[in-house]
């Protein structure tokens, strides 16, 4: 299914700010659908004088009219004239009589989606049309809550038609844990007095220690009573509970955390009150705190592992200095580099919040580990990296860093032994695979012959066994050796789904 951005750009939109406006409106589509107890659809004009649906939200507490998603569909003939009139006139257009949709009586309201593009005072222009489709087949005597919800929806529709909603001053907060109409709704007047509180809103405040009725009370005074003494709170809280700014804030009391979202209501620029949505997010905040603690613990573990590996590398280095055997000294030097390469990955993991690393940064540090090899007597080697590795999870980064350390070290020690040359590491990444070529300008290998040393065995084990990839050694035409590694990345994509 096409996204909202795909659809609007395909039908003549070119201003990213207009697209962002529609995204913000679509983000509050569920709120509008729940308040109006109706399906909400956003339509944009097409080149052939029609309209196409780019967003759709179904009501949570009422029956939907559209059991199949209509995003990407053209406007139906029975709504086209009404939608077109709202788009051309810039006014809200209600259906003159009930409309029938698949044998269900409905009422349709078309609301022009306006946005002011220029400076303050500039007349807004119509971007799209929002339609509200109310199912009349389940009509019953509305409760006081339904009446209030519908009044709030009408106020928001009026603000949409005048370019005042969505509010451009509202920050783009994450949707996770955002209060919804069904979680709890409080209507306040211009002075901050609560004129209506839904049962769920009252229950949320009761859990925080407020035992009285909310209606008729200044919401800021209610919050002040339940907040613990000497407890620091969000500085934006008074502005939010008074409904003066379109912000979000949390209230915590008696171990209960309630998230508040204020939506100021305006009538042609004049503030007439506000909607304050509230949701008990206690469990959600506990989970977030546990995740933060877990992340900190994992980072600390990586930090300690890195320190331990560096200690091991230091011990191996000391042992190498004390040994009198050249063969033992070389073996200990190789072991030191292998341990240090693994330590680089853990050091990078300890600095981030995820279990993925920027492997280009890791490999740049790994290349420095082979500098001492390049500085061997009678050998002058220059290392060069081309291409991009990109981010890799730790289970890929550790074996790949160790394998490349072996290959580069081998290219310098054996391919360029006693001469001057270059080692190039070329990376090419696609969505399906990562290909790495390690080329040197050394003496080369007899075609078809591969070394049988410990380093070669380590590389085979890491690439083929742990990463499920392939590795191939061959001689470059003329001189030098090229090693090609091909690692499939489809497993990473599956793990992230």
Q: 109: exposed, middle or buried (C-beta count within 10 Å: 0-12, 13-18, 19+)?
A: buried
Structure token digits, residue 188: 């306040």
First vs last Cα of the chain: how many Å apart? 17
**Other beta carbons less than 10 A from residue 4's beta carbon:** 18
* Residue 146 neighbours by CB under 8 Å, 6+ apart: 37
pLDDT, position 47: 92
Question: CA 71 to CA 56: how far, in whole Å?
Answer: 6
The set of long-range contacts for 95-99, using a CB threshold of 8 Å and a minimum separation of 24, is 98/136
- Asked whether the beta carbons of 193 and 216 are under 8 A apart, the reply is yes
Please choose, from the candidates 365, 449, 378, 447, the residue with its C-alpha nearest in 3D space to the C-alpha of residue 408: 365
**Other beta carbons less than 10 A from residue 420's beta carbon:** 11
The stretches in the chain having pLDDT less than 70 are: 1, 119-121, 139, 173-176, 230-234, 352-354, 371-379, 417-418, 445-452, 477-478, 491-497
| Strands (E) located in 189-242 | 194-197
- Asked whether the beta carbons of 336 and 310 are under 8 A apart, the reply is no
pLDDT, position 373: 56
Instruction: Summarize pLDDT for 293-331 with one digit per residue, the tens.
Output: 777 777 778 778 878 888 888 888 888 888 888 888 878
Question: CA 299 to CA 282: how far, in whole Å?
Answer: 26
pLDDT, position 174: 63
Q: What angle do CA 223, 227, 232 make, to 5 degrees?
A: 115
CA torsion sign, 356 to 360 to 364 to 370?
A: positive
Q: 27: exposed, middle or buried (C-beta count within 10 Å: 0-12, 13-18, 19+)?
A: middle
pLDDT, position 52: 96
pLDDT, position 109: 96
| Strands (E) located in 119-236 | 125-135, 185-188, 194-197
- Asked whether the beta carbons of 40 and 29 are under 8 A apart, the reply is yes
Report the phi/psi class of residue 250: left, alpha or beta, with left for phi > 0 and alpha for psi in -120 to 50: beta
pLDDT, position 139: 67
To which H or E segment does residue 88 belong?
helix 77-89
pLDDT, position 497: 41
Question: What pairs with residue 264 in β-bridges?
Answer: 274
Question: CA 246 to CA 269: how far, in whole Å?
Answer: 14
* Residue 292 neighbours by CB under 8 Å, 6+ apart: none
pLDDT, position 479: 72
Question: CA 426 to CA 386: how far, in whole Å?
Answer: 5
- Which alpha helices (H) appear in 323-390, and where do they start and end? 326-349, 359-369, 371-374
Question: CA 154 to CA 464: how far, in whole Å?
Answer: 63
Please choose, from the candidates 275, 24, 279, the residue with its C-alpha nearest in 3D space to the C-alpha of residue 151: 275
Please choose, from the candidates 259, 255, 248, the residue with its C-alpha nearest in 3D space to the C-alpha of residue 281: 259
pLDDT, position 73: 94
- Asked whether the beta carbons of 266 and 272 are under 8 A apart, the reply is yes
């Amino acid at each position: 299914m096409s996204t909202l951005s795909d659809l609007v750009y395909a039908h003549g939109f070119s201003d990213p700010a207009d697209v962002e406006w529609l995204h913000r409106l679509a983000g509050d589509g569920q709120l509008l659908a729940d308040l109006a107890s109706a399906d909400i659809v956003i339509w944009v004009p097409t080149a052939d004088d029609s309209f196409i649906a780019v967003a759709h939200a179904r009501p949570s507490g009422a029956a939907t009219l559209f059991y199949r998603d209509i995003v990407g569909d053209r406007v139906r003939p029975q709504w086209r004239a009404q939608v077109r009139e709202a788009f051309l006139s810039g006014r809200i257009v209600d259906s003159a009589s009930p409309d029938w949709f698949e044998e269900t009586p409905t009422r349709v309201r078309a609301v022009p989606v306006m946005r002011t593009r220029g400076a303050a005072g500039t007349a807004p222009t119509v971007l799209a049309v929002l339609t509200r489709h109310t199912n009349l087949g389940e009509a019953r005597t509305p409760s006081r809550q339904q009446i209030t919800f519908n009044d709030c929806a009408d106020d928001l529709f009026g603000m949409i038609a005048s370019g005042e909603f969505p509010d451009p001053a509202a920050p783009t907060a994450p949707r996770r844990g955002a209060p919804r109409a069904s979680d709890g709704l409080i209507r306040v007047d211009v002075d901050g007095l609560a004129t209506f509180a839904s049962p769920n809103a009252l229950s949320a405040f009761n859990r925080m220690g407020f035992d009285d009725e909310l209606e008729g009370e200044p919401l800021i005074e209610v919050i002040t009573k339940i907040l613990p003494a000497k407890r620091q709170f969000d500085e934006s809280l008074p502005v939010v509970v008074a409904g003066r700014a379109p912000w979000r804030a949390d209230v915590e009391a008696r171990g209960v955390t309630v998230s508040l979202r204020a939506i100021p209501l305006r009538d042609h620029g004049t503030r007439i009150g506000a909607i304050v949505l509230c949701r008990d997010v206690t469990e959600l905040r506990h989970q977030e705190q546990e995740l933060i603690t877990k992340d900190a613990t994992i980072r600390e573990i990586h930090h300690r592992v890195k320190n331990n590996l560096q200690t091991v590398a230091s011990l191996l280095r000391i042992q190498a200095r004390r040994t009198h055997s050249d063969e033992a000294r070389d073996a200990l030097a190789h072991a030191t580099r292998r341990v240090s390469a693994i330590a680089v990955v853990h050091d990078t993991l300890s600095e981030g919040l995820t279990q993925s690393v920027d492997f280009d940064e890791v490999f740049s540090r790994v290349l420095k580990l082979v500098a001492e090899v390049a500085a061997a007597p009678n050998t002058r080697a220059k290392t060069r990296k081309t291409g991009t590795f990109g981010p890799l999870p730790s289970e890929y980064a550790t074996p790949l860093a160790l394998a490349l350390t072996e290959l580069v070290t081998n290219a310098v020690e054996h391919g360029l032994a006693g001469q001057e040359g270059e080692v190039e590491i070329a990376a090419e990444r696609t969505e399906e695979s990562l290909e790495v070529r390690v080329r040197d300008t050394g003496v080369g290998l007899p075609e078809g012959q591969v070394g049988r040393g410990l380093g070669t065995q380590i590389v085979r084990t890491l690439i083929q066994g742990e990463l499920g990839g392939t590795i191939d050694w061959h001689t470059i035409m003329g001189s030098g050796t090229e090693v090609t590694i091909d690692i499939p990345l489809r497993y990473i994509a599956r793990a992230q789904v």
